[in-house]
Amino acid sequence: MATPTQEEQQLHFVVFPFMAQGHMTPMIDIARLLAQRGVIITIITTLRNAARFKATLDRAMESGLSIRLLEFQFPCAEFGLPEGCESFDMLPSFSLALNFFQAANMLEKP
């Protein structure tokens, strides 16, 4: 029987933190801790949220950690949100919370 190779045994976590500062920061920290233990990490987030953590993630990747960033366009305009409003803490008014959650919910659609 063939022995699994090291690559086949390596774990790969895909994380998609909720788009709010209080959720993103701890998820980035957890991702870095997992990567320090040899886990491959892919973080899925919006362009603006990725920009918030770019320096931290760049340093982690430059140090050899296997962290990948997969960015996507958040459908702000489609749901009546100001352009670039890609995180709950970026909402100019709490009255747009439902719009934000509807846009986030739309992400599960193909």
Q: What is the pLDDT of residues 39-94, one digit of tens each?
A: 999 999 999 999 999 999 999 999 999 999 999 999 999 999 999 999 999 999 99
d(CA 63, CA 39): 14
pLDDT at 109: 65
**pTM here?**
0.81
Reported as half-sphere exposure (CB side, CA atoms, 13 A), residue 28 has a value of 22
pLDDT > 80? residue 26: yes
Pairing of strands 67-72, 12-15: unpaired
pLDDT > 90? residue 110: no
d(CA 57, CA 78): 30
Tokens of 42: 């892919």
